[in-house]
Chain A
Amino acid sequence: MSTVQQFRTGDTPLPDVIILTHKLTREYDMGSELVRALRGVSVQIRQNEYVAVMGPSGSGKSTLMNLVGCLDTPTSGEYWLNGQKVSDLADDELARIRNKEIGFVFQTFNLLPRADALHNVELPLIYAGISAHQRRERAAQALQRVGLGDRMDHRPNELSGGQRQRVAIARALVNEPSILLADEPTGNLDSTTSTEIMGVFAELHRQGQTVVMVTHEHDIAANAARVITLHDGLVATDQRQAA
């Protein structure tokens, strides 16, 4: 186990802790029954860690990722991101955090079909209020970082699955977020392409990027230095491993 600080309500996280959740719960009121997707998850993730989140289907992995990605707010508990308590922020403040601090990579890529790669990567910068000229420059750089410098004017349907996911990764990186979150990023890819995408993640991690990735495949999780396993809405195991 790698608990660094026994966190109590009222504390603030240590400076290099990027993600800290404390007794985080998320319940869905389905009318007839109460679904308790997370039942008190406490984890701390430090700068430049590479963490895989595993667990059986329905164990709460996506729910946790959505909370960590500020796409959702918890029922109870605390969530600290980069030294700021975000668990009780309002809608528009969360939007700003998503824009500045978080890069999200989805299983289904979620690219705009009618826009070319460059424009897709530009999107977060639009909402950051960056000028058109700078946007193009930074989007182009991000695409070069994932090896797609020569595919900038291609639309998603003109790209392979692996290339689409690279565009999505470039989009996640373009705002230089504190964390890169990926929910089953290889779930829609074949094994060769998955390996390729894992190569991109490894390289980003080597350059200093903090990465949290959900997967249910052990060989994908093997890329990470630390594996957190969820079971029934609770952390079951949290282990470091040799990369």
Chain B
Amino acid sequence: MRAFEAFHLAIQTIRAQKLKSGFSLLGVFVGVSSLIGSCSIANGVNRYMTEKFAQTIFGVNTFQLRRRPIFTPNVPDSVWRAWQRRPRIRFSDADAVEAGLSVPVITAWQSSDNVTVSFGNKEARDIELTTASERYFDIKNLRIATGRAFTGEENRSGTPVAVLGEAVAKRLFTDRPPIGRNVRIGGIPYRVIGVVEHQGSLMGFPLDRFVVVPALSPAQNLVNPPGIVDAFLVKANSEGEMREAMAEAEGIMRSRRHLRPQQDNNFVLDTSEGVQRFWAGISRIIMIVMPGIVIVSLVIGGIVIMNIMLMAVAERTREIGLRKSLGARRRDVLQQFLAESTAIATVGAAFGIVAGIGLTVLINALSPLPASISPSSVIAGVIMGAGVGVVAGVYPATRAARLDPITALRQE
């Protein structure tokens, strides 16, 4: 009997026993769909993190001179307290680093805190106020939708002008033009000169609830003590030049702080690498935990299929006896039942792939998690599904193949 015949027969049997087959392919279905779903999440998060998140938070080829890292997942209290004891970054530190760099860069000061912004009797609460110097917009790649950004001159003279995030402009002005209006930022009057393009959201966090004002304008006192910045941003032209600039900045800061060679830095030169490492870690966890779920459901799926097949062999003992009496060899019977279990598992895997793709689409639509299908997981799903079918079928099929025709035929 050819393999094709065996598969044809298997499909016929499966169609004739839809309910039982449906039940038996559930395990493989769950296994394969969770495989594809989890790979999609890991894959999507990974891509998102490297492509968008890092760039949004840091900018391309950019590092930040800070007291402590920007992204600090699960640090112990002791480390946190040590960070808090470090001296803060001063305007003079930023100026010294800028003056000392030999690599061509653009730089910006940046400090942030949350404030309330109001216009007349309208209020926008919990708005991120960033006091920054003029190149901040270039480094963060923030494009102006209407109006303009502030100038270096306005920054140095501390002119009270503000550039709004889209959500703030909408909240305060609805559809009226905001340019030239006077708003209050933490109670301090500012004139709106520009609105930034829509930024969307990142992992569910809205990115348009901010206002940017000159670093030396009056609101600086809402954010930091005099002379202090949260971060000094340095953007180079390439990754290599960024590394050079970082080395130079490190030397400058160490000498300014009189650190001896054996002393650690009491500042950080933070890049998107830290974030990316963190997310690589998360996706590794997904990749470790999910295979567990996948393997467990495939094993359960395999056991279910094996039991269903054993039941099928018991139920169809007469049929097996008849086939043998008509000339089926052991190998024919073996092939028939293996084909059946493989077909069940493969159909389960196929449904699982469809569901996994559906799950991915659903995750993208309904949750902040980005997900994107990983083609290798689809291939792995098919192979695993069929593999489970073969493995689960071996024992029942062997039992069927070994049946004695007379005993089998006599079975009621």
Q: Is B325 an interface residue (CB 8 A)?
A: yes
Given contacts A110-B322, A123-B323, A123-B326, list 20 more A-B pairs with CB under 8 A: A71-B406, A71-B409, A91-B330, A95-B327, A95-B328, A98-B324, A99-B326, A104-B326, A110-B409, A112-B319, A114-B12, A114-B16, A126-B1, A126-B5, A127-B1, A127-B326, A127-B327, A128-B327, A129-B1, A129-B2
Q: Is A47 an interface residue (CB 8 A)?
A: no
Q: Give A residues with C-beta under 8 Å from B.
A: 66, 69, 71-72, 91-92, 95-96, 98-100, 104, 106, 110, 112, 114, 123-124, 126-129, 171, 175
- Which listed residue, A91, A106, A112, A124, touches B327 by the CB 8 Å rule? A124
B15 to chain A: closest residue by CB? A114
- Residue among B325, B328, B405 facing the most chain A CB atoms (10 A cut-off): B325
Q: Are A96 and B327 in contact (CB under 8 A)?
A: yes
> Chain A nearest CB: distance from B366 CB in Å?
44
Docked complex Cα distance between A69 and B322 (Å): 13
A174 to chain B: closest residue by CB? B326
Q: Give B residues with C-beta under 8 Å from A.
A: 1-2, 5, 12, 16, 318-319, 322-332, 405-406, 409
Q: Are B323 and A92 in contact (CB under 8 A)?
A: no
Q: Are A112 and B322 in contact (CB under 8 A)?
A: yes
- Which listed residue, B12, B318, B319, B330, touches A92 by the CB 8 Å rule? B330
Note all chain B residues with C-beta closer than 8 A to A100: 327
A112 to chain B: closest residue by CB? B319
Docked complex Cα distance between A69 and B327 (Å): 11
Q: Are B406 and A124 in contact (CB under 8 A)?
A: no
Q: Are B329 and A92 in contact (CB under 8 A)?
A: yes
Docked complex Cα distance between A162 and B200 (Å): 78
Docked complex Cα distance between A123 and B327 (Å): 9
For this complex, 6 residue pairs linking A to B, each with C-beta atoms less than 8 Å apart, are: A72-B406, A96-B327, A98-B327, A99-B326, A100-B327, A112-B322
B13 to chain A: closest residue by CB? A114
Q: Are B327 and A99 in contact (CB under 8 A)?
A: yes
Note all chain A residues with C-beta closer than 8 A to B327: 95-96, 98-100, 124, 127-128, 175
Note all chain A residues with C-beta closer than 8 A to B405: 71
Docked complex Cα distance between A175 and B326 (Å): 10
> Chain B nearest CB: distance from A94 CB in Å?
9
Note all chain B residues with C-beta closer than 8 A to A129: 1-2
Note all chain B residues with C-beta closer than 8 A to A175: 327
Given A95-B324, A112-B322, A114-B16: A127 in contact with B409 (beta carbons within 8 A): no
> Chain B nearest CB: distance from A176 CB in Å?
13
The 7 tightest CB contacts between A and B, nearest first, are: A99-B327, A127-B327, A95-B329, A124-B326, A92-B329, A110-B322, A98-B327
Given A96-B327, A112-B319: A127 in contact with B406 (beta carbons within 8 A): no
Note all chain A residues with C-beta closer than 8 A to B12: 114
Docked complex Cα distance between A71 and B405 (Å): 6
B5 to chain A: closest residue by CB? A126
Note all chain A residues with C-beta closer than 8 A to B329: 91-92, 95-96, 127
A114 to chain B: closest residue by CB? B16
Docked complex Cα distance between A98 and B328 (Å): 9
